[in-house]
Amino acid sequence: MNKKLLYGFILSSLVMTVKSQTTQFYPNDVSDAFNIFGDNSNNTSGTARYIGMGESMGALGGDLSAVETNPAGLGIFRNSVANISMGVLSNKNKATMGNGVNSNTDTNFNVPAAGIALALGDESDLLKVNFGVNFSYQRVDNDVYFSRNSKINYLFPNKDNVNQTYEMANYDQYTDGYKSKLKLSFATNYMDKIYFGIGFDWHYLNVDRSSEYGHRNTVDGEYMRFDEQLTPYSQEANGFGLNVGVIGKITPEIRLGAAYHTPIWWSDMDDYRWVYSVNDKGQFFQDYIYYDRYKNVSPGKIVLSGAFASNIFDDDNSLAFNFDFINYFNKDMEFKGDVDYRLNNNFVNNYVRNSQEYRAGLEYRFKELKLRAGYAYASSPIKDQSIAGVWDNDSSPVYVKNYLAGEKNKLSFGVGYDIGVFFVDLGYQNIKTDYHTTLSGDFYTVDGSNVNLDLNKPYFGKVNNTQNNFVLTLGMRF
């Protein structure tokens, strides 16, 4: 048998055994599926206008990022447009576990949108066709650091092999990486009343993940650092999805729109993980060889939109309002690959539900000046009572809301100004979410020392996440 296949079989069996005896899923995989692989409410990409209006432009269209919501919005362009957006995203986590509280902030530069829309045909044509290309790049760095928690303590052999009391010193869940998307869109405009569009999306993801645990001797202060089983790991993947949409003008001011986005089909997922184990001779070993080409399916969604827009092209003073309702088909999420990876589908089947997002945005124009505001709310994709755990060693088992992925509140503001054929927009978005994560499982040092934190009684930690997203867009019409 091929050596690589043999290792894969042995290690798959090991991991499957660990999972099947405990929680029937791997929380890191599920968390990544919602927060990294998904193209849903966790997205912070878009033009400053789109961000400033709370990402609510499904029926308004006429913006390169609005095409992400409904590709029919590309047909509303009367002029060709090119723009580039630059953004700074601040990601702050306040992590609480027991009596330990810690806050940290990551700040990253993004290119949330860059693209071009070509408005083809003449104004007098009954049927016009537009073409668009859009590219986005988003950092997904995230550091959740739980500090010292004296309520988690136990006996553990010290360096002299004498059992002494150790307590939790830290637990760090760290993600480093990025995802990007290239979108090609086509749309038609019939008599400036009905718009049809289709978009094709190519996704790329590159991410590194680690889960580190540390404990400290309460007698002499000795510190030991451990890596969670199957971490650190690296993943690289390519994905594809498509979307179709329609927008219709009910009156010159009122528009209705609908769009469907297929799931994202991720393939060629190169996955490398550290695996720690003891062989039949009692010898400890670690290998960075666990590898497979997994496949993953991220949720699809349907978008229903309505908008009111006075004649924003011809009037010096105008108002536009848009409302979007989005249903995410989270139950369509699926893990494909080795048996151990597919065990994550147990969690999806038992505890995942479809979630909804509501977005509202307003834009007021006075001559060359534009003022914008928006708000969005997204419900949690996880059922309230999804997993039982404890707050510390003295706690009784409880259930929590928002396990691994919480509900989101987004508040946005923006301003724009036209300078002839050029325009500049600035958008700001504040995103808040609270969720719970767990500490449990096997943790190892490089020399084989092992801490087993009861998988059947995981420790809960609470995370308050706040993101501040600033986007500047520069563009021109031609």
Assigned domain for 82 exists: no
Count Cβ atoms within 10 A of the Cβ of residue 378 and give its class: 0-12 exposed, 13-18 middle, 19 or more buried. Answer: buried
Dihedral sign of CA atoms 341, 445, 98, 440 in order = positive
* Cα–Cα dist 117/183, whole Å: 11
pLDDT of residue 24: 76
In sequence order, the 6+-apart residues with CB closer than 8 A to the CB of 24 are 343, 346, 347
Output the tens digit of pLDDT for each of the chain's 478 residues.
444 444 444 444 444 444 433 457 889 999 999 989 887 656 778 999 999 999 999 999 999 999 999 999 999 999 999 999 999 999 999 999 988 899 999 999 999 999 999 999 887 788 999 999 999 999 999 999 999 999 999 999 998 999 999 999 999 999 999 999 999 999 999 999 999 999 999 999 999 999 999 999 999 999 999 999 989 999 999 999 999 999 999 999 999 999 999 999 999 888 888 888 887 777 888 887 666 678 999 999 999 999 999 875 566 789 999 999 999 999 999 999 888 888 999 999 999 999 999 999 999 999 999 999 999 999 999 998 888 899 988 888 899 999 999 999 999 999 999 999 999 999 999 999 999 999 999 999 988 899 999 877 899 999 999 999 999 999 999 9
Assigned domain for 113 exists: no
Boundaries of domain holding 19: 3-42+96-102+120-130+143-178+186-411+427-464
Assigned domain for 475 exists: no
Residue 120 sits at φ, ψ, to 5 deg, of -100, 155
Helix (H, G, I), strand (E, B) or coil at 312: coil
Pairing label, strands 317-329, 127-139? unpaired
Alpha-carbon distances of 449 from 204, 209, 443, rounded to whole Å: 37, 21, 8
* Cα–Cα dist 101/131, whole Å: 51
Assigned domain for 417 exists: no
Strands, E assignment, 330-421: 334-336, 355-366, 369-378, 388-389, 398-399, 408-419
Tokens of 418: 């036209």
Assigned domain for 135 exists: no
pLDDT of residue 456: 78
pLDDT of residue 42: 63
Assigned domain for 80 exists: no
Assigned domain for 271 exists: yes
**Count of domains observed in the chain:** 1
